[in-house]
Amino acid sequence: EAGVAQSPRYKIIEKRQSVAFWCNPISGHATLYWYQQILGQGPKLLIQFQNNGVVDDSQLPKDRFSAERLKGVDSTLKIQPAKLEDSAVYLCASSSPSASVYGYTFGSGTRLTVV
């Protein structure tokens, strides 16, 4: 079974620029999550999708971050404009409806550096 695919693996941008990350979940996984992992911390949820609908985006900084999952499969997370404090690893994860029992499958992440 193919894992969760993310791209790019690394990205360096200047502050105030925009950036986009892509995620393709495991086939058949209805639920998709974007997490932000700042160095030395655990992952923090940004947004959760169920199929193509948003379940929870309460922690997403909506003035600069946006995410979509138009066809209920792959997803894009965008930051515009980026700030220095956005430097982090952005992790995508997917799960079956039983995530509370079986846990997540994570992608390898995108490491963003804002200079």
Partner 1 sequence: GNSVTQMEGPVTLSEEAFLTINCTYTATGYPSLFWYVQYPGEGLQLLLKATKADDKGSNKGFEATYRKETTSFHLEKGSVQVSDSAVYFCALSTNTNAGKSTFGDGTTLTVKP
Residue 27 or 100 with smaller CB distance to partner 1: 100
Contact between 17 and partner 1 by CB under 8 A: the answer reads no
Q: Work out which of 1, 27, 28, 100 binds partner 1, going by CB under 8 A.
A: 100
The 34-53 contact track toward partner 1, x by CB under 8 A, reads ------xxxxxx--x-x---
Contact between 108 and partner 1 by CB under 8 A: the answer reads yes
Contact between 104 and partner 1 by CB under 8 A: the answer reads yes
Contact between 5 and partner 1 by CB under 8 A: the answer reads no
Residue 3 or 85 with smaller CB distance to partner 1: 3
Residue for token digits 């995410």?
A: 67
